Copies of this chain bind each other. A is one copy, B any other.
Amino acid sequence: MDKLDLKKLAKELNLSPSSVSRALRDSHEVSRETKERVKALAAKWGFQPNPHASSLRQNKSKTIAVIIPEIQNNFFSQVLNGVEEIAKEKKYHVLIYLTHEDAERENEILNLLRNGRVDGIMISVSNTTIEYDHLEACRASGMPLVFFDRILEEVKVPRITSDDEEASFRATELLIKRGAKKIAFLSLSDSLSICKRRYAGYARALNKHQLTSYQKTVECDAVDSSNREKIHALLAGEERPDAIFAAVEKLAVNTYEVCKELELKIPSKLKVISFSNLSAAALFDPPLSTIIQPSYEIGKKATDVLFKLIEKKVLLPNDKRVALSSTIVERKSTSK
């Protein structure tokens, strides 16, 4: 069983390679009969055209890249589900790259993708990304590029996010309604778009309710142990908050861990709400109130827009800047 190629099929069928090629790709300029003969033999032999030859010739790879900070995160894995769904429909392949929240690695990955390996790129930037030359260069080169969730304002490409500011505002108001007066904000990075927007919503709610006398942010990072220390310091120190707004899921988990350690009761001593797509949040002790992002839809929409770019379709105004609605699910961690 040697290597198959178009020529061998062509010889067997007494056709030229180009006809076989056309038939396999459903060209209109080939007879139905020929198409059927070709497809029958191709199926019988299990033949598929060599994708590299095809990519080289057509100058497209039928592949997209998804770059995310980490995979062990429900939000991103749900996004990937949406991406895969659309890619499958388009018969595209999906390459995945992890930055591990490292801007340098992110830069390297973008470099790897500069020479035609993929037809388009979707990225959620790392929390250490401040310089944006690599992304701007990518955009400028004409590579279809889309941001999702974590964006860079400076780089003018479509951005598919959720309504972070508004959802955060509502979540903070919920804490206030339940009696919180000193609400601390746990952030992943001051420079990260989602954290900025989430902070803005939090701050707006404090302003509205004249609770700005206590306005404290703890900037965390990707390392659980140091996050726990910072949260520990916050909760064991003077001027302890009576509520916590966690900008990302892992910080809520860290908060719960510290509360266990300190035997600080949630929600009586501390209310907690967090962005989270963890379905098991309802099983926590106590059940965690969450702001749930429409992750699957973000993945689908971002991929959709990416394909519009790839296919050089015109983008509608609401393709360029999409903010899908999050859902707040109140549970016991925020009750009075």
Interface on A for B, CB 8 Å cutoff?
1, 4, 46-53, 55-56, 61, 63, 70-74, 77-78, 80-81, 84, 93-98, 111-112, 114-117, 137, 141, 253, 256-257, 260, 278-280, 282-287
A84–B116 Cα gap in the complex (Å)? 21
Please tell me if the beta carbons of A81 and B77 are within 8 angstroms of each other in the complex.
Answer: no
Minimum CB–CB distance for A240 against chain B, Å: 21
Minimum CB–CB distance for A248 against chain B, Å: 13
Please tell me if the beta carbons of B278 and A46 are within 8 angstroms of each other in the complex.
Answer: no
Minimum CB–CB distance for A38 against chain B, Å: 16
Copies held by the complex: 2
Q: Which residues of B contact A56 (CB under 8 A)?
A: 50, 52-53, 56
Task: Name the one of B61, B73, B77, B253 contacting A280, with C-beta atoms under 8 angstroms.
Answer: B253
Q: Find the B residue at minimum CB distance from A80.
A: B71
Please tell me if the beta carbons of A50 and B116 are within 8 angstroms of each other in the complex.
Answer: yes
Pairs across A and B, CB under 8 Å, 10 listed: A50-B116, A52-B52, A56-B56, A71-B84, A72-B78, A96-B96, A253-B280, A256-B280, A280-B280, A285-B285
Q: Which residues of B contact A46 (CB under 8 A)?
A: 111, 114, 137
Task: Name the one of B55, B137, B253, B283 contacting A256, with C-beta atoms under 8 angstroms.
Answer: B283
Q: Which residues of B contact A279 (CB under 8 A)?
A: 253
User: Given A74-B72, A96-B94: A114 and B48 within 8 A (CB)?
Assistant: yes
A77–B256 Cα gap in the complex (Å)? 23
A109–B112 Cα gap in the complex (Å)? 25
A-B contact sample (6 more), CB < 8 A, given A4-B115, A46-B111, A280-B284: A49-B115, A50-B115, A50-B116, A52-B116, A52-B117, A71-B77
Q: Find the B residue at minimum CB distance from A48.
A: B115
Q: Which residues of B contact A95 (CB under 8 A)?
A: 63, 93-96
Q: Which residues of B contact A55 (CB under 8 A)?
A: 52
